[in-house]
């Protein structure tokens, strides 16, 4: 097998140490040098000096949690680093050790058998940290809200039945009154503002419960956490606005697509960047995101078509955006969803819509153009003959003879 990189190295990265195998091919012979260094900054700089002294040009390693990131930051300026998916370079079982793993990675890299993972530039990585942190904070707010709802149910207060958002103006006023010791349903009902989905009688009945000091303490504890998290999200939103200013043109392009809000567009830019040259085609991007069926075929049989985990932060955002896009009437995405839902079910249909949206994102960012909707009649016009044939066959099955004439 042809050797592409005669001087390269494979790294087996752990939390506290890195085992390196330097592979040097010369005159038909291969020599290996093994070194183990700590993952401290001094240890990684020592590893860089050893690789430079050996004349290494390429370095390969697995994407193991977050442990690969410090190694990447130290070595990326001096070497071409190939970050591999651990699933793609799995070794033959047996005789496993750190040295053997590093040697296996070095051998694969030398022959060009490692597919490099997508690692965005440093500014995009910083945006990723910000958008992912925001999502985690919002999730924490949702968790504390559910715990408050659980406490209210334990106190036999049916607030969630009559107030759509217990953290809204009316819901929060009632919660704070409960914490202060108010238990009269009439007075609690007077704290509501605006229109509610329940009548006053239903509201008073729902607020008649059994609230103990323990319930008040739990509600106050979670409400304090929610307010602190909301303040953190507000501060983070301000920082995000400044951080995304260089990418404002790309975000404005993406928001022309139905279902993509400013927040969703920020997440997409943070996850894939704005340089689509990293992905050869739109299909490569969709596959990387895990929005297409896997290829698992043997003896002419498809064994599994389940989607991979892919990029979970991007995938979940696109699926949420796809649900919003399907609500836009007389649009291509809604027509695609309804067309697939009847045959494959809503889950597969929404994944297909998310894949279509990501495909459109690829071309929008690559060509710098706004979203152009193909219209709800796109599929009908494309498959006109097939639709007519299917409808005629359906009429024949019903015992009706039809004579067809061109319009």
Where along the chain do its domains lie?
Answer: 7-110, 123-243, 248-380
Which pairs from 41-44 meet CB under 8 Å and 24+ separation? 41/70, 41/74, 43/17, 43/18, 44/18, 44/70, 44/71, 44/74, 44/75
- For residue 64, what pLDDT is reported? 82
pLDDT tens for 349-359 read: 999 999 999 99
Give percent of the chain above pLDDT 70: 100
96 pLDDT above the threshold of 90: no
- For residue 403, what pLDDT is reported? 80
The mean pLDDT value of the chain amounts to 91
pLDDT tens for 127-171 read: 999 999 999 999 999 999 999 999 999 999 999 888 889 999 999
Rg of the chain over all Cα atoms, to the nearest angstrom: 29
Q: How confident is the model at residue 369 (pLDDT cuts 50, 70, 90)?
A: very high
- Determine which of 55-64, 172-181, 357-366, 382-391 has the lowest per-residue pLDDT on average: 382-391
CATH of domain 7-110: 3.30.420.40
Q: How confident is the model at residue 402 (pLDDT cuts 50, 70, 90)?
A: confident
Helix (H) or strand (E) holding 129, with range, is: helix 122-154
The DSSP output letter for 277 is G
Q: How far is CA 72 from the centre of its chain?
A: 22
Tokens representing residue 175 in the block: 């919660």
Alpha carbon distance 267, 264 (integer Å): 5
Alpha carbon distance 193, 278 (integer Å): 52
Q: Are strands 7-13 and 58-62 parallel, antiparallel or unpaired?
A: parallel
How many CB atoms are located within 10 Å of the residue 110 CB? 25
Q: How confident is the model at residue 399 (pLDDT cuts 50, 70, 90)?
A: confident
Tokens 């979940």 sit at which residue? 316
- At a CB cut-off of 8 Å and minimum separation 6, what does 339 contact? 349, 379
Nearest to 328 by CA among 358, 362, 353: 353
pLDDT tens for 212-232 read: 999 999 999 999 999 999 999
Alpha carbon distance 252, 84 (integer Å): 34
What Cα–Cα distance (Å) separates residue 5 from each residue in 50, 63, 93, 241? 17, 21, 26, 44
- For residue 392, what pLDDT is reported? 87
């Amino acid at each position: 097998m042809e050797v592409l990189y005669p001087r390269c190295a494979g790294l087996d990265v752990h939390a506290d140490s890195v085992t390196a195998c330097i592979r040097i091919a010369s005159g038909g012979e291969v020599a290996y040098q093994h070194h183990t260094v700590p993952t401290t900054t001094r240890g990684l700089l020592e590893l860089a000096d050893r690789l430079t002294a050996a004349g290494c040009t390429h370095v390969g390693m697995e994407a193991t949690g977050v442990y690969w990131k410090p190694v990447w930051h130290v070595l990326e300026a001096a070497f071409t680093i190939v970050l591999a998916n651990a699933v793609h370079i799995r070794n033959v079982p047996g005789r496993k050790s750190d040295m053997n793993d590093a040697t296996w990675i070095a051998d694969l890299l030398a022959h060009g058998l490692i597919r490099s993972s997508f690692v965005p530039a440093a500014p995009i990585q910083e945006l990723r940290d910000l958008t992912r942190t925001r999502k985690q904070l919002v999730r924490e707010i949702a968790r504390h809200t559910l715990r408050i709802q659980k406490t209210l149910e334990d106190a036999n207060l049916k607030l969630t039945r009559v107030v759509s958002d217990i953290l809204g103006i009316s819901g929060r006023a009632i919660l704070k009154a409960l914490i202060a010791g108010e238990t009269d349903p009439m007075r609690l009902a007077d704290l509501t503002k605006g229109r509610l989905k329940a009548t006053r009688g239903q509201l008073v009945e729902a607020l008649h419960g059994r609230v103990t000091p323990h319930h008040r303490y739990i509600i106050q504890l979670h409400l304090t956490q929610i307010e602190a998290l909301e303040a953190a999200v507000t501060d983070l939103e301000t920082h995000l606005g400044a951080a995304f200013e260089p990418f404002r043109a790309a975000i404005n392009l993406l928001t022309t697509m139905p279902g993509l809000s400013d927040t969703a567009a920020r997440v997409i830019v943070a996850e894939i960047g704005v340089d689509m040259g990293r992905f050869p085609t739109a299909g490569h991007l969709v596959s990387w995101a895990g929005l297409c069926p896997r290829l698992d075929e043997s003896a002419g049989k498809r064994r599994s078509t389940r989607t991979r985990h892919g990029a979970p932060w991007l995938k979940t955002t696109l699926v949420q955006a796809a649900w919003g896009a399907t609500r836009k009437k007389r649009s291509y995405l809604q027509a695609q969803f309804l067309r697939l839902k009847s045959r494959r079910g809503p889950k597969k249909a929404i994944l297909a819509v998310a894949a279509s949206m990501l495909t459109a994102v690829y071309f929008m960012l690559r060509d710098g153009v706004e979203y152009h909707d193909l219209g709800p009649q796109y599929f009908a016009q494309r498959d006109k003959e097939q639709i007519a044939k299917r409808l005629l066959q359906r009429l024949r099955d019903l015992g009706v003879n039809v004579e067809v004439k061109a319009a």
